[in-house]
Amino acid sequence: MKHFAFLFGLILLFALAVALPAEPNAERDEFYHLRALEKYVQSQQLDNTTISIEKRGLGDNPRLTLSMGGNKQHMGDYNEEVIFKFVHEALDEFCPVSQCDRRLAPEECCRNYNPRDQNYKYGTVYKDQNGNYATNAHIKLSLSHGKVRNNKELRDLMFMTVAETYKREIGANCYQETWKDKTKTTFCNIGEAVDLQVGEYRVHTYLKFNGVTASGSAKCENWKTGIKEGFGLYKDHYYQLNNGVSFATDLFCCDEQYKNCDII
């Protein structure tokens, strides 16, 4: 019986390790976004077939729209690369290649109610109501709309673009939190929503903190330049999927109510 209990315990620990995402590591995650883009480029070079967006079902006049903003959300002391990695890996989990390559209804590719998504979160430090350093909170990504069926290349680009958008936001909305002992920690905020549409395809996400975001700000005006620079990393790759032909791309920055949006 003791041996059985020990074996059961090992199996349970293994299951938990598989189900939960790896804890963020700043050193390991440095330049994660560049490695993801390099991997995408290498996969394209291995495939000498010219991919046409028209053949993929986006029609004759594809258009890309990227909007962001909404209520500010506390991201703790995580840096840009950690947030990119978290969002990118979460989307890859919600919309796996094996699922998206099947000929299913478009919404079935991304598993909006996948039981595992409740586990895809990172523990986050924050300042509690008594002014103490606290760790009993987390950030979590949710997917309100996912449609990337039967186009792995476009799926990969869209996931990197969404992750890059959050990454650029967090780098522009940071502040110093002071503790009771006068030491300081850099905390950052983001706008909760990112909505990316390319033709008929769409990835609409929310990245939220499960506590109260009282300090700091998350203003579009602070990240406009960074967003344009970040999107520039992927823009030409979207055109390549359209046989090298450019098409309309619009970037919008929205207020905290996600009602008034200005073009970037």
Task: Dump pLDDT digits (tens) for 193-239.
Answer: 999 999 888 899 999 999 888 888 888 888 889 999 999 999 999 98
Q: Please report how the helices 32-46 and 152-170 are oriented relative to each other, as an axis angle in degrees rounded to 10.
A: 160
Task: Convert the pLDDT of each residue in 62-88 to its tens digit.
Answer: 899 999 999 999 999 999 999 999 999
Task: Flag whether pLDDT at 164 surpasses 60.
Answer: yes
Task: Flag whether pLDDT at 52 surpasses 50.
Answer: no
Which residues span the domain enclosing 95? 2-263
Round to whole Å and give the CA distance between 170 and 204: 18
CB atoms within 10 A of CB 156: 23
CB atoms within 10 A of CB 42: 9
Task: Convert the pLDDT of each residue in 6-48 to its tens digit.
Answer: 444 544 443 433 334 445 555 455 556 655 656 555 555 545 4
pTM of this prediction exceeds 0.85:
no
Query: Which residue, chain included where needed, has tokens 């996948």?
Result: 114
The token pair that represents 79 in the structure block: 């840096």
Maximum CA extent, the chain:
67
- Which pLDDT belongs to residue 212? 85
Give how many domains the chain has, as a whole number.
1
Compare 25 and 176 and report the one with higher pLDDT. 176
